[in-house]
Amino acid sequence: MAPLSNRLFQSTELRQEMKINPRLYQAMELLYMPLLDLQAHLKTELAENPFLELTEADAPNEVSLDEEAPEEKKDEEIDWEEILLDGWEPGGSPRGQHEEKEFHQPTPVERKDLRDLLMRQLEHLPLDDRQTRLGEEIIGNIEDSGFLSCGLEVVLEGANRWLEEVGEVAYARARQIPDPEEKSEEMAELEEMFRPYTETEAEQMLEVVQRMDPTGVGARDVRESLLIQMRREGSEESLGYALVADHFDDLLNHRWTEIARGLGISPRAVQDAADGLAHLDPKPGLQHALDEDPYILPDLIVEKVDGSYHVFLNDTSLPRLRISRSYREVARNKNEFKGENRDFISSKLNSANWMIQAIEQRRQTMLKVMNFIVDRQREFLERGVQHLRPLTLREVADYIEMHESTVSRVTNEKFVQTPRGVFPLKFFFSSGLSTTSGEDISARGVRDKIRILVNQEDTKKPLTDQKIVELLDGEGIQIARRTVAKYRDQLGILPARMRKRV
């Protein structure tokens, strides 16, 4: 057998490839952008491309080029040819024509989080520098939920490492003191100040932090946080305190009978005491968290007019763009442009034309998609979420004759305002379940039915997953028990044994 050759050689090959045009990438990005992002993008394009300008509807102070300018202004008209041929900078403004404008830097509003609140309280306590530093180390390890994120041994390690680093500098300075007596006193003070923290000191300082507001902060778990809150209330002798302190696992699992047997009381008394714990905050730090619900500006609006639903684009705040007539007239004389100027003019003009076309294409695609959704989900708009029909991206794509990925981009991070509220477009897409009537029902509709069944159940005999299956089957909905359990978990509903009341 001849050995394989490892020589380099050249050969020709004919094959077909599909490469996406850079403008197609940009068109896909425009489809993906929510309304607020698109606003910012168009304003940037308007500033960078001289061939784009606002339409007169959005620029009421713009003077039409067809109007006769006053006689005294004619001599001051801008020489566009000179600007384009000689003085244009790619940044979008002519050289030598810069205008001094006052710039105001946006000033963010100062916001305080949980750690800021705790630090301010620490500053007002009668503590020495050594204690304050240990308190800062503890607070620095508190999560947004209010819990201590690590053990005290980790806190001690960090605090003692800081003592070593700072102490080395302080000791080096003390050794340079020429007076032996003064040097000895300074070294003694430093030894006291920079001696390693002990576990006892850490426990004492943690107790100081746990006395701060919000009540329950600095705990190492939910159980400790609840106990701190009840001690602050003076409820140490209550049954609720005993449940949390000695029967916390049984309390979490609603084992009322087992707890009652151990305490020698009735299950009803245990349940009433557990209900009394509902006012406590299991994660006290979250009330000072900085995260807020994002501001939503709907991209589309659905309104009912004379019995019919109509879809409108909520794009009145978008800049309305057109090709600048002034630049367009100058660019027509192609003989005047050569070299880099010609390339620049051609590039910007083509980019402006494409941008306007892409925005219009985006508008039409969004309207097509939303109109199909409205037609398909009319029962939801009329009667509520239980009448939401199953819908997939493939169905919409087939109807508007586009690819599924295009529909996905159109619906991603977009919101619509309807008579039933504001929803993400993805809300209208869900799988379906079969019914005995031959019609399909949306999975969201089934989840809502499960929620209603649980809300209306007898709390002394809560519905099991199998019983819910039977009730839904009575309504013609065929569903497996494991699917009911999955939907119940998604709704945050506890199992039947944990919902039972005595």
Q: Is the pLDDT of residue 87 over 50?
A: no
Judge contact between 480 and 488, C-beta under 8 A: no
> Mean of the pLDDT values across residues 377-399?
86
Q: Where are the alpha helices (DSSP H) in 277-403?
A: 325-331, 339-376, 378-383, 393-400
For residues 346 and 368, which has the higher predicted lDDT (pLDDT)? 368
> Mean of the pLDDT values across residues 337-359?
72
Listed in order, strand segments (DSSP E) in 50-174 are: 52-54
> Mean of the pLDDT values across residues 96-115?
52
Q: Say what the pLDDT of residue 104 is.
A: 44
Convert the pLDDT of each residue in 450-490 to its tens digit: 888 888 888 888 888 888 888 888 888 888 888 888 888 88
Convert the pLDDT of each residue in 430-454 to its tens digit: 776 656 655 567 778 888 888 888 8
* Residue 395 CB partners (closer than 8 Å, separation 6+): 376
Domain layout of the chain by residue ranges? 22-57+293-429, 114-288, 431-502
Q: Is the pLDDT of residue 153 over 80?
A: yes
What is the three-state SS of 233-284?
HCCCCCHHHHHHHHCHHHHHCCCHHHHHHHHCCCHHHHHHHHHHHHHCCCCH
Mean of the per-residue pLDDT values of the chain? 77
For residues 166 and 373, which has the higher predicted lDDT (pLDDT)? 373
Q: Which two tokens stand for residue 270?
A: 């245990």
pLDDT bin (cut points 50, 70, 90) of residue 75 is: very low
Convert the pLDDT of each residue in 253-292 to its tens digit: 888 888 898 888 898 998 888 888 888 888 888 888 765 5
> Mean of the pLDDT values across residues 103-124?
71
Q: What percent of the chain has pLDDT over 70?
A: 78
Q: Regarding the domain delimited by 431-502, which CATH topology (the fold level of the hierarchy) does it fall under?
A: Arc Repressor Mutant, subunit A (1.10.10)
Residue holding tokens 């005491």?
273
Q: Is the pLDDT of residue 131 over 60?
A: yes
Convert the pLDDT of each residue in 61-70 to its tens digit: 333 333 343 4
